[in-house]
Amino acid sequence: MTFEDLQRSWKADIDRPPPAIDRDALLRELTQRCARSEHLTRRRDWREYAAVVAVAVGFAVLWPRIRTSWISTIGVIWVAAWLVLVVITLAKSGRVKPLSSDSSTNDFVRQKIEWCDRQIRLLHNVVWWYVLPAFVGILLIAGGKMLPHQRTAFGSYAAVVFVLCGGIVWLNRRAARLHFKPLRDDLVRLSEEL
Partner 1 sequence: MWFKQTGAASRMNDSQSLFLELLDRHYGRWRAIARAYAKDDADDLFQEIILQIWQSLPTFRGDSQSGTWCYRVALNTAMTWRRDLETRRKRLPIAVAIEEIASRTSDTKNDGAAMLQSLMAKLSPADRGILMMTLDELTYAEMAAVVGCSEGALRVRVHRIKQQLADFAKEVRDDV
Q: How many CB atoms sit inside 10 A of residue 144's CB?
A: 19
User: CA–CA separation, 40 vs 35, rounded Å?
Assistant: 9
Binding site for partner 1 (CB under 8 A): 1, 3, 5-19, 21-23, 25-30, 33-34, 36, 100-109, 112, 179, 182-183, 186-187, 190, 193-194
- 8 Å CB contact between 144 and 66: yes
To partner 1, the closest distance from the beta carbon of 8 in angstroms equals: 7
Determine whether 150 is exposed, middle or buried from the number of CB atoms within 10 Å of its CB (0-12, 13-18, 19+): middle
User: CA–CA separation, 96 vs 84, rounded Å?
Assistant: 19
Cβ distance to partner 1 smaller for residue 104 or 152: 104
Determine whether 14 is exposed, middle or buried from the number of CB atoms within 10 Å of its CB (0-12, 13-18, 19+): exposed
To partner 1, the closest distance from the beta carbon of 101 in angstroms equals: 5
To partner 1, the closest distance from the beta carbon of 4 in angstroms equals: 10
Which are the contacts of 135, defined by CB distance < 8 A and separation ≥ 6?
161, 162, 165
To partner 1, the closest distance from the beta carbon of 22 in angstroms equals: 6
To partner 1, the closest distance from the beta carbon of 45 in angstroms equals: 18
Which are the contacts of 66, defined by CB distance < 8 A and separation ≥ 6?
72, 73, 75, 76, 141, 144, 145
Cβ distance to partner 1 smaller for residue 52 or 175: 175
Cβ distance to partner 1 smaller for residue 20 or 163: 20
Cβ distance to partner 1 smaller for residue 10 or 63: 10
Cβ distance to partner 1 smaller for residue 28 or 92: 28
